[in-house]
Amino acid sequence: MTELADLEARARAAGRPAGEEGLVVCENLVRVYRTDEVEVQALQGLDLVVTEGECVALVGASGSGKSTLLSILSGLDLPTAGRARVAGHDLLAMGRRERLGYRRSTVGFVWQQTGRNLLPYLTALENVALPMTYARVPRRARRERAAELLDVLGVAYCRDRRPGELSGGEQQRVAVAVATANAPRVLLADEPTGELDTAGGEEVFAALRRANEQLGATVVVVTHDPLVSGQVRRTVRIRDGRTATETLREQDGTGEEFTVLDRAGRLQLPGEYVERYGLRGRVRLTAERDHVGVWPDAPADDADPPGTSG
């Protein structure tokens, strides 16, 4: 067994069981920012479950709470209320020591700003080896694993270069290696392709997928890029600090749309459906044996432009 595979196997064995409910579980998560007189509700009762092994894209308009959620999951920020558990850690109740260990080895993080992920005076290999120092991995093993990670992520040829000598896409792929150095259960990335061109973005996504498939990390990636959601199986859309809709894509390219029902029974329909079926204001519900139907209140008349029938 290679050093890399061995580390991964140990990391997974040590972490089990994470509970049957999911590796990442957020329930009714609230984060309120208070600045002087103003109060911003960045998260307003968000629900999210991510199962171990998944690769999930998180999308949503600017200001919808995506970065707030990722900061909480990374252990950097504390929610105001609700429940958040990751790999058996209660993020609302962690003490200082547990939080430190959590941030070092349970989660890995990739930021949007390429300059924020790597130390400029270290080579790619040294950058990847650095987090393992904190985990007390012996020097030789650190260098071996760092080299293996760079290889798996397609940037072995960058090992002796400093960040200034790398393209944005190469820097972000090295950043994925840094984030996975201590074999985290969860890899979080906040718009990691935001500063890159299309080709660079695709390479970084390929690296995230390898981190998921070959290194065994559960991946949650925030993205603005509509192309990206096509590359993952599950896309979760956050709207106004809550999860609104989910899309599950099957291997054959077909997709299934889901929406999240909150505690009060509210749900949000995908905008595309609202438009396609001409749903406006009051809609008609029908209770069927095994499902609920949603109908426009008045049957749409194709001959009439919208808004002229009432």
Min dist. Cβ of residue 308 to ligand ADP (A)? 38
* Residue 225 DSSP symbol: -
Q: Interface residues with ligand ADP (CB under 6 A)? A: 33, 35, 40, 42, 60, 62-68
Binder of residue 230, out of Mg ion, ligand ADP, none (CB less than 5 to 8 A by kind): none
Q: How far apart are CA 191 and CA 59, in angstroms?
A: 10
Do 168 and 196 form a contact (C-beta atoms < 8 A)?
yes
Closer to ligand ADP by CB, 64 or 127: give it: 64
Closer to Mg ion by CB, 14 or 40: give it: 40
Do 181 and 211 form a contact (C-beta atoms < 8 A)?
no
- Do you know the residue count of the chain? 310
Min dist. Cβ of residue 261 to Mg ion (A)? 26
Closer to ligand ADP by CB, 42 or 204: give it: 42
Min dist. Cβ of residue 129 to Mg ion (A)? 29
Min dist. Cβ of residue 58 to ligand ADP (A)? 9
Binder of residue 251, out of Mg ion, ligand ADP, none (CB less than 5 to 8 A by kind): none
Binder of residue 286, out of Mg ion, ligand ADP, none (CB less than 5 to 8 A by kind): none
Min dist. Cβ of residue 110 to ligand ADP (A)? 15
Closer to Mg ion by CB, 98 or 195: give it: 195
Closer to Mg ion by CB, 57 or 137: give it: 57
Do 108 and 217 form a contact (C-beta atoms < 8 A)?
yes
Q: What share of the chain is helix, strand, coil (3-state, %, to 5)?
A: 35, 25, 40
Binder of residue 100, out of ligand ADP, Mg ion, none (CB less than 5 to 8 A by kind): none
Q: How far apart are CA 186 and CA 203, in angstroms?
A: 20
Q: Interface residues with Mg ion (CB under 5 A)? A: 67
Beta strands in the chain (DSSP E): 24-35, 38-50, 55-59, 81-86, 89-90, 107-110, 186-190, 218-222, 234-239, 242-249, 255-259, 283-287, 292-296
Binder of residue 68, out of Mg ion, ligand ADP, none (CB less than 5 to 8 A by kind): ligand ADP
Do 106 and 23 form a contact (C-beta atoms < 8 A)?
no
Q: How far apart are CA 152 and CA 146, in angstroms?
A: 10
Min dist. Cβ of residue 115 to Mg ion (A)? 17
Closer to ligand ADP by CB, 42 or 147: give it: 42
